[in-house]
Amino acid sequence: MAAAASVKSPVPANPAPAAAGAGASPGRRVLGRDDELRLLDSLLLHAAQGRGGGAILQGEPGIGKSALLSCAEERAAGFRVLRAVGAEPESDLAYATLHQLLLPVLGRIDGLPGPQAQALDVLFGRTHGAPPDPFLVALSTLSALSLLAGDQPVLCVVDDAHWADQPTLRTLAFVARRLTDEPVVLLLAARADEGHGAELPDLRRVPLMGLDQESATALLGGQRLMGGERSRLLAVTGGNPLALIELAGQPLPPEGTPEPPALHDELRRSFLAKVQARHAGSLPLLQLIAADGSGSLGGFERAAASLRVDTGPLHRAELDELLSYDGTRLVFRHPLIRSAIYHSATAERRTAIHRALAAAFDGPADQHRRAWHLGQAAVGPDERTAEELERSAEQVASRGGPAAAMAALARAAELTADGRRRGRRLWTAAHAALHGGFTARAVELLDRAERELLPDEADRIPLAVMRAIVAEFAGSPEDALNLIRPWVPHVLRLDRRRFAPTVAMYADLGTRTRRSEVWADLAAGLQRIPLDPGDPDDAVLLLLRHAGQARTGQDPATVRWDGAALDALTDPILMTMAGAVARGLGDHELGRRLYHDAGQLARAGGSLGALAWNLEYQAADELARGRLGLAEAHAEEGHQFAVEVGQPSTACRNRGLLALCAAMRGRRDAAELAAGVLAEASQRRLPDAMVHAWRALGLVELAAGRYHDAVRHFEAAGDWDSDAPADLVMGVVPDLVEALVRADARDRAAAATARYEQWGRHTTSPEQAALAARCRALLSTGGTAEAHFAESLRVGTGFPLEHARTHLLLGEHLRRSRQRTQAQRHLRGAAETFRRLGALAWEDRVLGELRAAGESARPHDTGALSTLTPQELRITLAVGEGLTNREIAAQLFLSPRTVDYHLRKVFQKAGIASRAELMRLVLAERPD
């Protein structure tokens, strides 16, 4: 078989080359694309210097996207070029496009961490193993490209990206966000009007318009056209280069008739007419190739034999103007050729072709292709085919292909006659859609499933739970709670262990929505159920029962939860929710351990969805401990991952925590950031994020001494007249009491303190006890106040930021009582802690108090760790734990090259030259 070197461009080369940057070969210049070529040269130049990037060329069919990609390849002197082409029949086959891109070089990549190498080997069928998580695949791809780029810069080209499978596109989106420090260029060409959308927000979009009159005239220079004909052709085609070439010389619609509503229909008819004129006898062969789409000659040859289709023209290279062969795959040179040929076959003929292809793909590795072709051939209910599609969905899901699994299950449901079975397949398709981040599609499938399923608890509960998960991550927690609440008594009766995550989610939603009746429901519902403390799921339910009893004023049961059993949990989300309940009961050590272990499990498995959600809890915990750098690092990472996996509500909550960090650090943008969070959280109906935002706004005013404004913001955070105050709202009370006392509203401060003490009776937390004592101190005078302050300082040593604020308030009290020497001692301690934590707003306030107490005070240099960005801090702390750059990269979903880049910046900021020095710095300054 003859093989072509490249796809011919619809826009011929101009003999005058454009100027090229360093590292790029001048190559050719396509007509009318000077600006686009300058952009390509810039990307290549920057990548050659170690700063990668990318772009998506977008436009209608035939506009010249492929020609520009070919130019980029020619101009990439010294680059390793990886190329893939999306194909419509493979758009539902997980990682089909990534397979094209990476498989040719996979054998040359040495040094990938074990789990990453295993993920790619399993994905591409080179070995057997557990299904890799999509984000582990994405990290492995980034690492592979980074390793390849260590030898020479890399150019990745993906043509027809609108037909690329969604898992590949999500992998490329992950890579695109992390190219800043990699000598890698990612170029895609896509149509925005057909097929899958190539949504890669971090790549620059380059829309391609039709050619101008001068360029079009040059393009058609060889055509014998009159001036009027040329102008008419330009108007009809809109300057589309391929359309100009294909329609030149053909009869055009009469002047004054409306243009075709979709130009590509004209092109398809034009392509088919040309094929029929030149290769009419090969049309059955071309229809078979078009229906196959895999490019695999083995299966294709068998199908051709069963259909008695002559493959001779293919082997005699008679079809090379239509097809290209790169040694592994046979593909059409232009997708419109394939589309025109495929749809030229009658429905009966397409059915026969798909049946023959299904029979040809008979190997175990081809199960999904066989099932897909059977599904295309089916014309009515077909349970056997539906079962094959269902089995194939399990296969592709095990390889990290939720999009392909979703498509297979949805088609299986269409072929299912039994309503209940159809509903369950639709539910499973929705589950795959949700796992893949296709939220809108998941909702659509759930709607269809609900119409099919009978009113059976076993069917209805999973539907409600999945709708609640959608609402939790992408909508309102109030809606999520209302979906779950009616089913909680039923799940406890049906299978309490299977539904333990559902019950824990109900409790978590009750906290988020400030609905205290949730705890009464749990206390009553779990009281009647015998639970095994040694079973991990039962241990979670015991923890929830104890919390429900404590929060509703009952005497907790004598049996307590088993921390060892909780440590045996393996679901990161359930572990995180259990940690939150433990922390709410005052067991901060257990809660923190569960948070940390859940995060580590999510990282190891590449489960960014679970990790984004978990990091919000870790950030809140570090914030309460005053470890502002770590809190900010967790919240920023959580926000980034939440955006990546389509969890806008989770992203908003993490932004709320970032606003709190900014307020405590005294950053100038804190109020603006909090106001933005408040606007979004109000629209999304996220009470927890709104509390974070209101508290951040109040802290900005409190630190600045604008006490009345601070009161207004703090009071906006909650319903202070409620008989059952919510945990989130009560967390604001110590700040509110301070602001009320300073605003001379002592009666309101006393009432708030009383409510806070009553609420805190369900917990043994030393933090709550310390803050309650501080509130009492602010309401007292003389020696009584000093005694309460002393009590607060004695029990609150584990929370350095609040401990320092108590020192500050005591220092202010002593200075006003003319006890300057003692005041200075407390104020100096507070200033040192604020400096170490990077809480600059509070440091400014305490320095003012020191000056008022008669001591000359100036700001000190902040600690080296407090000057680092969140990303730099995450990497620095990982170095402090003894991890290598490669291990750090795997944990943080970065490339080793990016880790090295940030470490160099850390060394520069800290004035050090080695990892050993950095580890000593971490040990000296880490805010434990």
Integer angstrom CA distances of residue 458 from 134, 446, 486, 494: 29, 15, 14, 9
pLDDT in tens, 450-478: 888 776 777 788 888 889 988 888 888 99
pTM: 0.74
**Distance (Å, rounded) from C-alpha 865 to C-alpha 837?**
9
Residue pointed to by tokens 């990668």: 52
**Distance (Å, rounded) from C-alpha 188 to C-alpha 202?**
12
Decide if 475 contacts 649 (C-beta within 8 A).
yes
Decide if 871 contacts 905 (C-beta within 8 A).
no
**Distance (Å, rounded) from C-alpha 509 to C-alpha 479?**
10
Residue 874: what residue type? R
Closest CA to 807 of 784, 766, 777: 777
Average pLDDT, the chain: 81
763 SS3 class: coil
For the CA atoms of 321, 325, 331, 335, the dihedral, rounded to the nearest 10 degrees, stands at: -40
207 SS3 class: strand
**Distance (Å, rounded) from C-alpha 200 to C-alpha 398?**
25
157 SS3 class: strand
**Distance (Å, rounded) from C-alpha 229 to C-alpha 227?**
5
Integer angstrom CA distances of residue 637 from 158, 573, 605, 618: 29, 17, 17, 11
Residue pointed to by tokens 């870790």: 618
253 SS3 class: coil
pLDDT band at 41 (very low <50, low <70, confident <90, very high): very high
Whether the predicted pLDDT of 103 surpasses 50: yes
The H-assigned helical ranges of 308-438 are 312-315, 335-344, 347-360, 367-377, 383-398, 402-414, 419-435
Whether the predicted pLDDT of 889 surpasses 60: yes
**Distance (Å, rounded) from C-alpha 101 to C-alpha 82?**
6
Integer angstrom CA distances of residue 42 from 51, 52, 53, 55: 11, 10, 10, 11
Whether the predicted pLDDT of 257 surpasses 70: no
Which tokens go with 538?
A: 């039962």
**Distance (Å, rounded) from C-alpha 198 to C-alpha 394?**
25
Integer angstrom CA distances of residue 273 from 243, 257, 268: 14, 22, 8
Lowest mean pLDDT among 129-133, 573-577, 631-635: 129-133
pLDDT band at 203 (very low <50, low <70, confident <90, very high): confident
pLDDT band at 806 (very low <50, low <70, confident <90, very high): very high
How many Cα neighbours within 13 Å face the side chain of 888? Answer: 23
Whether the predicted pLDDT of 390 surpasses 60: yes
Mean pLDDT of 419-430: 89
Q: End-to-end CA distance of the chain: give it in Å, rounded.
A: 68
pLDDT in tens, 655-698: 999 999 999 888 889 999 999 999 999 999 999 999 999 999 99
Which tokens go with 290?
A: 């078009």
Residue 773's φ and ψ, nearest 5 degrees, are -65, -35
pLDDT band at 89 (very low <50, low <70, confident <90, very high): confident
Q: What is the pLDDT of residue 172?
A: 93
Mean pLDDT of 813-835: 87
pLDDT in tens, 534-556: 899 999 999 999 888 888 877 65
Summary count for the chain: helices (H), strands (E): 47, 9
Which tokens go with 785?
A: 């106040």
Mean pLDDT of 506-528: 88
Residue 743's φ and ψ, nearest 5 degrees, are -90, 10
pLDDT in tens, 301-311: 888 888 999 88
Q: Which DSSP helix (H) or strand (E) runs through 228? A: helix 227-237
Q: What is the pLDDT of residue 722?
A: 58
Q: What is the pLDDT of residue 18?
A: 31
Integer angstrom CA distances of residue 810 from 470, 785, 835: 48, 9, 18
DSSP-assigned letters across all residues of 700-736: HHHHTT-HHHHHHHHHHTS-TT-SS--HHHHTTHHHH
Q: What is the pLDDT of residue 556?
A: 52
Angle (CA) 288-291-293 rounded to 5° is 110
Q: What is the pLDDT of residue 236?
A: 58
Closest CA to 893 of 912, 919, 874, 867: 874
Q: How many CB atoms within 10 Å of residue 192? A: 14
